[in-house]
Structure 1
Amino acid sequence: MEKIAFKMQLKPGCREEYKRRHEALWPEIRALLKENGISDYTIFLDEASDTLFAVQMLAGNSSSQALGAHEVVQKWWAYMADISVTNPDNSPVSIPLEKVFHMD
């Protein structure tokens, strides 16, 4: 398994709404992630900058950001577009982070 990390950006004033929407994550999204080998997915928030920091374990070749061709993912992106910084296709602007240290 591979662990990856990336960051995304919330729009100002949207922290609580972002948390609320993820607490009610659609079952179809959860199932699609698991079916594609994505597990142990955690998103942290830097409240000072509204930066989201995500970490996920990959058993397959796809990260959550690579599933954009799926209709349910496109709907999720559209649902989240009003509270996060997005690309023209509503996908979140996602910046991969380089692993510089790991301790078991």
Structure 2
Amino acid sequence: MTSAPKPSGVPPMPERNTKALRAAIAQHTPQLLADYDRHWDAAIGQPRYTAPVPAFLARWWTEFALARDPDLDRHVRELEERAADAATNDQALQLLTQAAHLRREAAKVEPGQ
């Protein structure tokens, strides 16, 4: 995913920081914004947390990287849904492995890609 060109119409990834990511989510995938803000308030807005920003950013970077490409997002979610309904553990594992691979690749996308 890092070397392949993004599909036409897929917005580029923002700068890798929470402010730019939130703005990109608000503009391009507003359906994620309420969850993003809830997660921010729960994880970051609490004084008892010391440094969860890297984990927060990693999670939401991947979520946006998928959601900005509706076909890719749909494919990953279908794999996960099929795994939930799989008849055997082997089938479920195979489907979840495919979904996890796509999520890992999405996490590698760089700003501007």
TM-score where L is the length of structure 1: 0.32
Which structure is larger by alpha-carbon Rg, 1 or 2?
2
Name the one with the larger strand percent. Answer: 1
TM-score where L is the length of structure 2: 0.30
Name the one with the larger helix percent. Answer: 2
